[in-house]
Structure 1
Amino acid sequence: MRLDEFLTRVRDLGEYHSDDEAEQVSMAVLWVIASRVAPGEASALAADLPAPLDDVLRPERGRPESFGRDEFLRRVAQQTGARPRTAEWDAGAVLAALAEAVPRERVDRLLDQLPDDCADLLGGPGEAPR
């Protein structure tokens, strides 16, 4: 998927006003994902995403951190300057677009490494889990 296609999908799902806003939110969520998943998985995910989104997943951060949904959303909120409820919406928009942009097996491996209670976010903001 091209960058403009990914950002349009995030913009539509998250109801953002611009591609710039969609890109900022995408970068924030991907940054948090990169701190939660194994470096190899982050690199594999990066290979399926267009630049500059892939770059945020590539920096070596060492071992993945273990944290749950609340901390995941807190970190997204910290990156975007949003409130936790808004961060949940943001994460849902990006993760749902990601689920459409990468192969299903990559999504399954990502789900295995995210907090168990984050699976519903891949359905998008305000949607039922898939």
Structure 2
Amino acid sequence: MVTLRWEAFLDRVRERGEYDTTDDAERAARVVLALLGAHLVGDVRAELAARLPETLALILLNPLQAAEPLDPDRFVRATAAWIDGATETTALWDIGAVLSTAADAAGDDLTERVLLQLPPGYDILFGRPQPGQRP
């Protein structure tokens, strides 16, 4: 298991999200992982946190509280609401940049276990559409 360094994680998010600054990548990572953490429990959340840089791991482990699991569309809307100036379209881009980077850090087995804890449809947000499914 390899934990990505802070700079390496944010560089990947910045590249994938095509952000102008590392601050923009960090803002997206903080919001998306805080929202994601509210949906994960137990060993899966702890194992994912262990593969993230420490600051982001703490955000995942101390998430924003969700009254109920958000389906992927509501997750996108919630992300847009938490990022200043974001729209649902830009939030979808932010989510894809962050979650695909987190999935790469997690590896396939852990990512599959993460997806099992989430409502259907999150595989697309992680950049891992299931075979035979069209967006």
TM-score range, shorter chain: 0.7 to 0.9
Residues 61 and 11 from structure 1, CA distance in 2 versus in 1: closer, same or farther, beyond 3 angstroms? closer
User: Is 1:17 equivalent to 2:20 in the alignment?
Assistant: yes
Q: Does 1:29 align with 2:39?
A: no
Aligned position for 2:107: 103
Give the superposed CA RMSD.
2.1
Aligned residues: 126
Residues 13, 63 of structure 1: alpha-carbon distance in 2 compared, 3 angstrom cutoff = closer
Q: Which has the higher helix share?
A: 1
Indicate conservation of the 8 Å contact 2:34/2:64, yes or no. Answer: no
Using the size of structure 1 for normalisation, the TM-score is 0.86
Match for 1:118 among 118, 122, 125?
122
* Contact in 1 for aligned 2:37/2:59 (Cα 8 Å): yes
Structure 1: where are the runs of 5+ without partners? none
Work out the CA distance in 2 between the residues paired with 1:98 and 1:45.
Answer: 8
- Equivalence for 2:133: none
**1:71 partnered with 2:51:** no
SS of residue in 2 equivalent to 1:36: coil
Letter aligned with residue 24 of structure 2: E
Letter in 2 for 1:117: G
What TM-score do the two structures reach when normalised by structure 2?
Answer: 0.83
Find the counterpart in structure 1 of residue 97 from structure 2. 93
- 8 Å contact from structure 1 (residues 14, 93) kept in 2: yes
Q: Is the 8 A contact 2:100 2:126 kept in 1?
A: yes
